[in-house]
Chain A
């Protein structure tokens, strides 16, 4: 890259960083009930109380580190809110650089990556600084970045850290595994798995040793939750209610507002089966997408096409978790945040449009009209159903596109050649 080009991009990236800083500090509303909970946990830890043993926590240990860090510099709840926002901002900016790095690897327009990352941030809105979900999302992105560079051990180590912060990055592990297996990287695979196991144990063992029951409960208590009111299953039942289905009623559960209905309990119980089957289908499609690839690259880091495939299926895996989970809290949308600008293929532009609408609809439900939803008002229910349908549409389109492009070498970020016949990626840096 020439010096002038480097300088130009340095200015552009600095501008976008500044924009993110402004939006995080001036645009978003920080604080809220969850941040209060984080503050409480952090305060207890600061007082020397041991998590899992001396107080119950429903989060993995990585999350506790995220909660504690701002408490070290903040004396009051208000200051903690600001510090927590700053912490999320730091992770957001790390995410921005990782997106740029991966964008270059995927030969995507860097302008599009920066604009996409920023647009998605705005669409998701304040929930970015009111929950800690940004942290595992960026760690997961870090794992993908390391993977794209061929640093498989680092990728697996980061995946382990992400999983110990919030479980969902584990959904990427089979994709990494299948990739390395498919490309016959047996030696790196063994080393990667050992690194991952060591990292997991390094984080978990101290807590297992202190209070294994409490530590394990922090994972299992989530599985005992009822059907949360915003989940896909709930939205179907709520839509049914508007069409005359009787005995459907939201209520305050232990962790969230859940749904009471005759079908709710079986749906909650078997949602794991649905999730398991759906995610297995995604992994199968990932593997199946290699069926027409003749010249597998058996050494070095993944090439552009391979990495495009890994990223798209990682995005779909996370999407499927959201869609099939019995809990779909608004902050879960953040899980998709850093991956979306990197989604490639024919539907890239369509994905952006759909996600921006999803962001708006999620914001409409929470915090704008959450009590309308609990009151089972029709518009709130319709919006929820539409949001969940759009999530499903994204997953279906990406899987379909993945299969169509299975034989292609290079991923394309065109919507369709006929629609954008002469649209070179002006900002692309090769």
Chain B
């Protein structure tokens, strides 16, 4: 067997093994229904499976008390009318989950998405660089702590919202890179699936709309250029297939909203009493509170952010040189300008949105496990992994290998932490922050905690 073919199969085998390992890990570690979201999705799947898109108060009360009895909390069903309670979240994931729920194998829903996401990432990175990059990038994406944690939680839509977006967005970029090589049938299928993925991503999480808009913007700009070049038939063909793919889930979403809320433009969050708004005013508090959780949940950020900075800077250098009538070689030929901007826009579409999120700003999230704040940012993991691995492949082997090994270890450990642990103390009231001014009274903490720690302290002092 030629050496290259052998290596290619080796990397594919390692990737497959990594996926199996990740799936084993999330299967072996016992799952807990940690947050109200898990209970909401669980009862949504239960209700939808019986054809109940809305439930009456009697059934809702029963489900609330049942969740409470099981140690959970159901608070994401909202009152939308007279004796009508509806699921507050975007329903795309629940509809996707239904077949798996009905055969009592809900976990397969996320497993299938994980496999699809890894295949997509592998194909894209192979196209961008090589099989080795593809192998590492796919596994880094999967072994990010938040990815693993949400992959395990089949009754929360977070992993799906990332996976649908990753598959759809990845296919779209893949198409942009290879469109000249595709025949009409394959091009149509790829574009249709890309649209379907992006659309289902939005139907699974309303927040993904901003990322979808970034794709729409890219599509518009690049297709207008195509139009101006005179390739109008190709442009119409692309619009048709991408639009058709995206229209199916989005039309489904609008129909669902019309049936449940009375208008296609109404949605569950409008009825929620929870602090789930978005406003620029929350930016400062989120910038204070969220980054630590993000670093714990997405260690890839440590590589991806410098990577983005370096790539943007070095992509600009040839532009600046061109303006001065000089020629400078592009240092990142594997990553086209428009694709880099698309990936950057994808990240911004997620991070900018959730840095203005009310819930993370108004809750003492620093007293909770990292997953509770970090999981909202999961849809941006795909571009994080792509940018990270492209930089890692340029770094000296020792540095890259150290970072990769650490990333896998960190991913597995923090996943276990997230899966095994509940908050060790009840979340503190944001109006009475637990942190006090240590400079003024260094002993105050002892007074507060002495009642709990007396035994230990005495034991240590003796």
User: Contact residues of A with B, CB < 8 Å?
Assistant: 31-33, 226, 239, 242-244, 249, 251-253, 258, 260, 346-347, 350, 353-354, 357, 360-361, 364, 367-372, 374-380, 382-383, 386, 389, 393, 396-397, 400-401, 404, 415-416, 418-419, 421-422
Contacts and interface: CB of A to CB of B under 8 A. Distances in A.
Contact of B370 (A243, A375, A379, A396): A379
B425 A371 contact: no
A85 B315 CA distance: 43
B398 interface: yes
A76 to B, nearest CB: 17
A225 to B, nearest CB: 12
Contacts of A396: 402
Contact of A382 (B296, B331, B406, B425): B296
B439 A416 contact: no
Interface of B: 291-293, 295-296, 299, 302, 306, 310, 328-329, 331, 365-370, 394-396, 398-399, 402-403, 406, 410, 413-414, 416-417, 420-421, 423-425, 434-436, 438-439, 442-443, 445-446, 449, 453, 456-457, 459-460
A52 B150 CA distance: 58
B367 A239 contact: no
Given A239-B413, A244-B420, A380-B366, A260 B456 contact: yes
B402 A419 contact: no
A378 B370 contact: yes
A374 B425 CA distance: 12
B306 A353 contact: yes
Contacts, number: 134
A357 B406 CA distance: 16
Nearest to B303: A353
Contacts of B459: 260
A369 B417 contact: no
Contact of A260 (B436, B442, B460): B460
Given A357-B302, A389-B406, A375 B414 contact: no
Q: Which of A375, A389, A422 has the most C-beta atoms of chain B within 10 angstroms of its own C-beta?
A: A375
B425 A33 contact: no
**Pairs of residues from A and B, 7 with the lowest C-beta to C-beta distance, nearest first:** A382-B296, A378-B369, A249-B456, A400-B398, A242-B417, A371-B435, A251-B457
A320 B286 CA distance: 35
B297 to A, nearest CB: 9
Contact of B402 (A251, A252, A397): A397
Given A353-B306, A382-B296, A421-B331, A375 B367 contact: yes
Contacts of A242: 417, 420-421, 424
Nearest to B416: A243
B394 A416 contact: yes
Nearest to A381: B417
A379 B366 contact: yes
Nearest to A374: B445
A382 B459 CA distance: 27
A104 to B, nearest CB: 26
Contacts of B293: 379
A370 to B, nearest CB: 6
Given A347-B396, A379-B366, A249 B453 contact: yes
Contacts of B394: 416, 418-419
B435 A378 contact: no
Contacts of B328: 422
B160 to A, nearest CB: 25
Given A372-B367, A379-B366, A31 B396 contact: no
Contacts of B366: 369, 372, 377, 379-380
A418 B400 CA distance: 14
Contact of A243 (B413, B423, B449): B413
B402 A393 contact: yes
Contacts of A368: 435
